């Protein structure tokens, strides 16, 4: 089925490339695919900024007036090479297409000709409502060993209203970007002096992480999990059993060897990228019976991933430490369906509490692709069985899903929960995996009712993902206005003048005694400046105290939105905020 909006965007990518070449004749166009909500085109020998977008867009409007069609031209290998003799990137693509016995086609509009497989609108005059969004660096073919190119992102829609709505969402997304919000909220620190992709949670970020972990521990205790702590480094032999070596090595930190002085322990170790091996060894630490199953082993384990420097992004994409809300459920095959369903229900509980409804997320079902089977462990029989069972369980949940062929983990099919944020972005929040391979590889067994030795099934799950990544998502989801239970400073007490400091401190002390996170603003600033600063810090509540409040034992409550709730007894405020915190109310 032809997707008209994709064809419109593909056509607009050609139009943008034509305008760039008109304004910057020495630029070399490379590739320009359609992506979700838009398109991009990569250029070599081009240096621009977003301040140049206006003139490029103006040139696009001029050029499209003279375009009447997208003319398809079939060419030979020699003709294609001649057409792009001065463009090494197009020549590389021509060689690849020829080796793969794919036809070579050009598409011509006006004076612009591009190497293209097609997928255009019939009438170029339909390209009316477009916008260039951003410019960035990108390696040719996504390989950091290749040259860095200039990538221009853009979008187009069929109507002005659709384009305006999209632009408004993009502007809102910029305001909510966790890296921008961090300047106000002081959640984390990233420094090249510490190391690229190595995140330090500042006091405010540490509070949020502690609250999330406390919530997870309390919840998992109720849901029948046991907790462990496993080492940060793991010997290579375990990762060979698990399959991380060699399959996952490119995403792992380099191996380390213990001191040559210690002849008793001179094997190779790795910083662990996952907690699987440790939890499998916990299971293996003693004999197991069917009566012990399901065994649910949980840990907020610190893992490390060696992400490429070009892929690092604030707290969203880091190298470590990644404290992951991890657990592995070992169960019989008969128990797997019920356990899988419980994991889905646990996800739903967490998301509902955070105000994320079922209509706001969907599942990605990542399977093993028919090609490159050497990327995966296990045989066809195990994979077919795992994928069939996982799909059956997914369909039972009633949650919408998309199949992603070739995206599975090396040891089994993967189910990711994807949340569509208020700005339209999709955030991959957590994962859930059904694994028949690793328990067998580690030699895990249990004695069944019939006295026979069997291998358990393993379910990998991490509903709250990793601290740093999930906090970044919550920052953007709530625009920094965390629910009161997660807000680092829940209350700021603001004395009107210096003579009210003693009473303000008494209010602060009382709130601390009740377990409420509070600060007293002792600065000599005017009250309006204190209110403004507390709002910028997105403190949940401000309590203003002056002569009347001190005399009556009250506080004047104000919300971070600026709403004035008026004076009330301190005890009443404490009762209300404690209820709000306990119930994890979304305010």
DSSP 560-586: TTS-EEEEEEHHHHHHHHHHHHHTT--
**Could you say which of 131, 414, 461, 530 is catalytic?**
414
Rounded distance between C-alpha atoms, residue 338 and residue 293, angstroms: 12
Pick from 137, 139, 157: nearest CA to 147: 139
In Å, how far are 130, 274, 389, 390 from 476, measured between CA atoms? 26, 26, 35, 31
- Paired with 324 in beta bridges are 301, 466
| Domain boundaries defined on the chain | 4-170, 188-258+268-341+422-477, 491-582
**Could you say which of 90, 272, 305, 538 is catalytic?**
305
pLDDT at 378: 73
Joined together, the tokens standing for residue 553 give: 């034992």
Rounded distance between C-alpha atoms, residue 21 and residue 53, angstroms: 14
Rounded distance between C-alpha atoms, residue 374 and residue 368, angstroms: 10
CB-based contacts of 26: which residues, under 8 Å, 6+ apart? 45
Quick check: is 368 catalytic?
no
pLDDT at 1: 39
Same CATH topology for 4-170 and 491-582: the answer is no
Quick check: is 328 catalytic?
yes
Per-residue pLDDT of the chain (587 residues), as tens digits, is: 347 899 999 999 999 999 999 999 999 999 999 998 899 999 999 999 999 999 999 999 999 999 999 999 999 999 999 999 999 999 999 999 999 889 999 999 999 999 999 999 999 999 999 999 999 999 999 888 899 999 999 999 999 999 999 999 989 988 999 999 999 999 999 998 999 999 999 999 999 999 999 999 999 999 999 999 999 999 999 999 988 888 788 889 999 886 666 556 678 899 999 999 999 999 999 999 999 999 999 999 899 999 887 788 899 989 989 999 999 999 999 999 899 889 989 999 999 999 998 888 999 998 887 777 777 777 788 888 888 888 888 888 888 899 988 888 777 788 889 998 888 788 888 888 888 889 999 999 999 999 999 999 999 999 999 989 999 999 999 999 999 999 999 999 999 999 999 999 999 999 999 999 999 999 999 999 999 999 999 999 999 999 999 999 999 999 998 899 999 999 999 999 999 999 999 97
Rounded distance between C-alpha atoms, residue 410 and residue 406, angstroms: 10
* Token pair 């403004």: residue: 532
Q: Are 428 and 391 in contact (CB under 8 A)?
A: no
Q: Decide: helix, strand or coil at residue 252.
A: coil
Could you report the per-residue pLDDT of 462-509, keeping only the tens digit for each? Answer: 999 998 999 999 999 999 999 999 999 999 999 999 999 999 999 999
Rounded distance between C-alpha atoms, residue 111 and residue 361, angstroms: 45
Q: How far is CA 249 from the centre of its chain?
A: 22
Q: What does pTM read for this prediction?
A: 0.84
**188-258+268-341+422-477 — its CATH code?**
3.30.930.10
Q: Decide: helix, strand or coil at residue 294.
A: coil
**Could you say which of 114, 326, 416, 521 is catalytic?**
326
Joined together, the tokens standing for residue 437 give: 């391979």
**Could you say which of 131, 272, 328, 368 is catalytic?**
328
Could you report the per-residue pLDDT of 386-430, keeping only the tens digit for each? Answer: 888 888 888 888 888 999 888 887 777 888 899 988 887 888 888
Q: How far is CA 333 from the centre of its chain?
A: 31
Rounded distance between C-alpha atoms, residue 79 and residue 521, angstroms: 74
**Could you say which of 170, 324, 433, 490 is catalytic?**
324
pLDDT at 135: 95
CATH class of 491-582: alpha beta
Could you report the per-residue pLDDT of 312-336, keeping only the tens digit for each? Answer: 889 998 998 999 999 999 999 999 9
Pick from 407, 290, 276, 294: nearest CA to 340: 294
**Could you say which of 460, 461, 492, 538 is catalytic?**
460
Quick check: is 305 catalytic?
yes
Instruction: Say yes or no: domain 4-170 is CATH 3.20.20.70.
Output: no
**Could you say which of 12, 116, 276, 331 is catalytic?**
276
301 burial (CB, 10 Å; 0-12 / 13-18 / 19+) is buried
What is the SS3 assignment for 190-249? ECCCCCCCEEEECHHHHHHHHHHHHHHHHHHHHCCCEECCCCCEEEHHHHHHHCHHHHCH
Quick check: is 414 catalytic?
yes
Quick check: is 326 catalytic?
yes
């Amino acid at each position: 089925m032809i997707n008209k909006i994709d064809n419109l965007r593909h056509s607009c990518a050609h139009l943008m490339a034509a305008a760039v070449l008109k304004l910057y004749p020495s630029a070399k166009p490379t590739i320009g695919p359609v992506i979700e909500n838009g398109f991009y085109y990569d250029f070599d020998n081009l240096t621009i900024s977003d301040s140049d977008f206006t003139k490029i867009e103006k040139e696009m409007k001029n050029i499209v007036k003279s375009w009447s069609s997208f003319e398809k031209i079939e060419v030979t290998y020699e003709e294609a090479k001649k057409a792009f003799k001065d463009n090494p990137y197009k020549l590389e693509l021509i060689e690849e297409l020829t080796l793969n016995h794919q036809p070579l086609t050009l598409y011509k509009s006006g004076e612009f000709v591009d190497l293209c497989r097609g997928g255009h609108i019939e009438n170029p005059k339909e390209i009316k409502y477009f916008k260039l969004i951003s410019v960035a660096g990108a390696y040719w073919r996504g390989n950091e060993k290749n040259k860095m190119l200039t990538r221009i992102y853009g979008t187009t829609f069929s109507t002005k209203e659709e384009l305006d709505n999209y632009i408004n969402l993009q502007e809102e997304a910029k305001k909510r970007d966790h890296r921008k919000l961090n300047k106000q909220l002081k959640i984390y620190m990233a420094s090249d002096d510490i190391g690229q992709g190595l995140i330090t949670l500042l006091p405010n970020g540490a509070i949020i992480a502690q609250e999330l972990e406390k919530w997870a521990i309390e919840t998992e205790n109720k849901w029948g999990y046991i907790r462990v702590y496993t080492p940060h480094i793991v010997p290579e032999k375990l990762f060979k059993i698990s399959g991380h070596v060699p399959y996952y090595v490119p995403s792992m930190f380099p191996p380390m060897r213990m001191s040559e002085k210690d002849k008793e322990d001179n094997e190779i170790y790795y910083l662990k990228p996952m907690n699987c091996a440790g939890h499998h060894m916990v299971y293996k630490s003693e004999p197991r019976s069917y009566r012990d199953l399901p065994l649910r082993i949980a840990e907020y384990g610190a893992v490390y991933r060696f992400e490429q420097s070009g892929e690092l992004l604030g707290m969203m994409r880091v190298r470590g430490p990644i404290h992951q809300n991890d657990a592995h459920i070992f169960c019989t095959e008969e128990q797997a369906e019920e356990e899988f369903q419980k994991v889905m229900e646990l996800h739903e509980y967490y998301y509902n509490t955070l105000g994320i409804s079922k209509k706001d997320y969907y599942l990605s079902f990542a399977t093993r692709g028919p090609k490159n089977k050497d990327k995966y462990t296990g045989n066809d029989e195990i994979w077919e069985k795992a994928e069939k069972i996982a799909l059956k369980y997914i369909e039972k949940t009633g949650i919408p899903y998309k199949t992603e062929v070739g995206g599975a983990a090396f040891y089994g099919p993967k189910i990711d929960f994807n949340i569509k944020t208020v700005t339209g972005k999709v955030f991959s929040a957590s994962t859930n995996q059904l694994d028949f391979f690793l328990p067998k590889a580690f030699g895990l067994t249990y004695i069944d009712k019939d006295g026979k030795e069997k291998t358990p099934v393993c379910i990998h799950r991490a509903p709250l993902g990793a601290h740093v990544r999930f906090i970044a998502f919550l920052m953007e989801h709530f625009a920094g206005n965390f629910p009161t239970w997660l807000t680092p400073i829940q209350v700021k007490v603001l004395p009107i003048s210096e003579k009210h400091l003693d009473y303000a401190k008494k209010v602060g002390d009382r709130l601390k005694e009740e377990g409420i996170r509070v600060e007293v603003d002792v600065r000599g600033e005017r009250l309006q400046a204190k209110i403004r600063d507390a709002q910028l810090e997105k403190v949940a509540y401000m309590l203003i105290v002056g002569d009347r409040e001190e005399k009556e034992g009250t506080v004047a409550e104000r919300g971070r939105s600026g709403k004035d709730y008026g004076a009330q007894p301190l005890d009443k405020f404490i009762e209300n905020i404690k209820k709000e915190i306990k119930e994890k109310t979304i305010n």
